[in-house]
Structure 1
Amino acid sequence: MRHALPLAPQFYVTAPQPCPYLPGRMERKLFTALQGDQAQKLNDSLSKQGFRRSQNVLYRPSCSECAACLSARIDVRRFSPSKSQRRTIRRNATLARRASSPWATEEQFNLFRRYLDARHADGGMADMDVFEFAAMIEETPIRSRVIEYADTETGNLAAVCLTDMLEDGLSMVYSFYEPTRPQASFGTWMILDHIAIAQEAGLPYVYLGYWVPGSPKMGYKAQFSGLELYRRGQWERFTEADDYSAERHPLSTDPIAEQVANISLPDSRA
């Protein structure tokens, strides 16, 4: 028997689990499936409301006593590279960008494993095998690209980013790079190049995922000018890192039913 998909997205909440950003805290996510003919419109709409994509799921932090995770994006019209970022651009002048459909390769997976083993050996993705990696790259119901950066002098793959194409910008879903060359600042370089791509395409934003005050691993995002954060239901310009707090409070987040009620969904008739 054939069953039709529900007319409106159904939202669910994950069970609490240890927070990967702030020690001693528990995280919880609000999520919905990304499927059907309206998948692209739903991704566009919810990305503007702080959601992120992971394969066929859209999610947003919904922790019961913490609201530290803030969705971050760069307004490319207000971006101006710092002296350090200009040095990173010059340092990576030998990298060549190549974009393709979301298709996983052995070369990508080998780089991914080196990156995880060196940078995130204790993380939630540490045990991913080649099939799970392929699913992460290839299972996408929307417009996505794999953007590779190869060194023209050696021919070696240096960095990779899985990127979604949104109606108002680019979303950097997941990136990884050669861990044995920390001086190259490949992570920063990929963001800088995505800003350049957005500028070339006339797109206003580059979505970076979440910035978390108090989390050292997220500190690099605050180094980009033009940064905006999704906070209290709207985007606001980033000021200074010290202006944001990771303190707990029992009223930090609204009840789940209220959160869902305040989500704007795309008009399926459009």
Structure 2
Amino acid sequence: MLRRMGTDAHGEDELRLFHTGEHACGYWPGRVARDLVLDPRDPRLPRWYPLALAWGFRRSGDIVYRPHCAACRACVPVRIPVARFVPNRTQRRCLQRNAAVESRVCPAVRSDEHLALYRRYLQSRHPGGGMENHGAVEFDQFLIGSWSEVRFLELRERGRLLAVAVTDLADGALSAVYTFYEPAEAHRSPGTLAILHQLQWARREQRAHLYLGYWIGAHPKMDYKRRFRPLEAFDGRGWRDFDPDRGAFA
């Protein structure tokens, strides 16, 4: 156990934080990583989760964590202020190119269709990474968990499922947990399209922020987040406007 978080909104005892041991970095080969993890056994975790998002944490399954590496600060928590977001030219073209795609928010209940798409995505995008053999149990554990308030944002074209954006609901915000899509449609930028539809969803419900997890500069799978402007980043104490091109706060 490393430390305790402050008193919750109900005035109850603090929530414990743990420091994990070193493990292989999931982003950079040859590096080691450590995380701060909220006590996964605490029954109040669903209540703490919105506050944890505001402190730069993220959910994976039932685990709420934040990278806390000794010699690296590459993982920067970022979010989009929904009311201030304006799509750029490339993003407008993405919407136009996918004008026939419809989005639907639905309960986070795994179907055979979801699982088949997820497996095709992993086998194409993450071969040899240990996830390509995920089945139904791993799908539920990794994406849905047991306590989070989560929804699936489906993107379909004439009924055909193109992408699923797993999205958590939080007080005044949405959190983009994971998106998987049809590998053969990668040229249509389905990941970008999913974020744009999540932003439309957040705007409809007057949610202030869409959390995107961690931006990692120059990382080929994480750097796309810099294209969404304005972007806010967590500096360890609060959220500030962030310029990812310079890797610095505005």
TM-score for the superposition, normalised by structure 1: 0.82
Query: Does residue 127 of structure 1 match 2:133?
Result: yes
Distance 1:49 1:9, change over 3 A: same
Q: Does 1:226 align with 2:230?
A: yes
1:160 corresponding residue in structure 2: 164
Larger Rg: 1
Amino acid at match of 2:243: T
Instruction: Give yes or no for contact 1:35–1:141 (8 Å, CA) kept in 2.
Output: no
Distance 2:100 2:146 in 1: 31
CA distance in 2, matches of 1:95, 1:111: 17
SS at match of 1:180: helix
Unpaired runs of 5+ in structure 1? 1-5, 245-270
Please state how far the C-alpha of 1:14 moved relative to its aligned partner. 2.0
Q: What is the Cα deviation at residue 8 of structure 1?
A: 3.3
Cα distance change, pair 140–241 in 1 and its aligned pair in 2 (3 A): farther
| Greater RCO, CA 8 A, separation 6+ | 1
State the one-letter code of the partner of 2:128.
D
Quote the residue 2:218 is aligned against.
214
Task: Report which stretch shifted further, 9-18 or 167-176.
Answer: 9-18
Taking structure 2 as the reference length, what is the TM-score of the superposition? 0.88
Deviation at 1:91, TM superposition (A): 1.3
151, 155, 161: which is aligned to 1:149? 155
Q: Is contact 1:34-1:43 (8 Å) kept?
A: no
| Residues 13, 150 of structure 1: alpha-carbon distance in 2 compared, 3 angstrom cutoff | same
Native 8 Å contact 1:50 1:71 kept in 2: yes
Equivalent pair of 2:55/2:236 in contact (CA under 8 Å): no
Q: How many equivalent residue pairs?
A: 238
State the 1:238 CA deviation: 1.5
Distance 1:191 1:142, change over 3 A: same
Moved over 4 A (4+): 34-37
Contact 2:122 2:132 in 1 (8 A): yes
Q: Percent identity?
A: 35
Residue 168 of structure 1 and its aligned partner are, at CA, apart by 2.1
Which residue does the alignment assign to 2:7?
none
SS of the residue 2:50 aligns to: helix
Contact 2:60 2:143 in 1 (8 A): no
5+ long unaligned stretches in structure 2: 1-11
Matched residue, 2:97:
91
Query: What residue is the counterpart of 2:193 in the other structure?
Result: 189
- 1:248 is aligned to none
Once the two structures are TM-superposed, the CA of residue 96 in structure 1 deviates from its matched residue by 1.7
Q: After superposition, what is the alpha-carbon deviation per residue over 1:108-147, rounded to whole angstroms, capped at 9, x for unaligned?
A: 1110111111111133423322211123344231321111
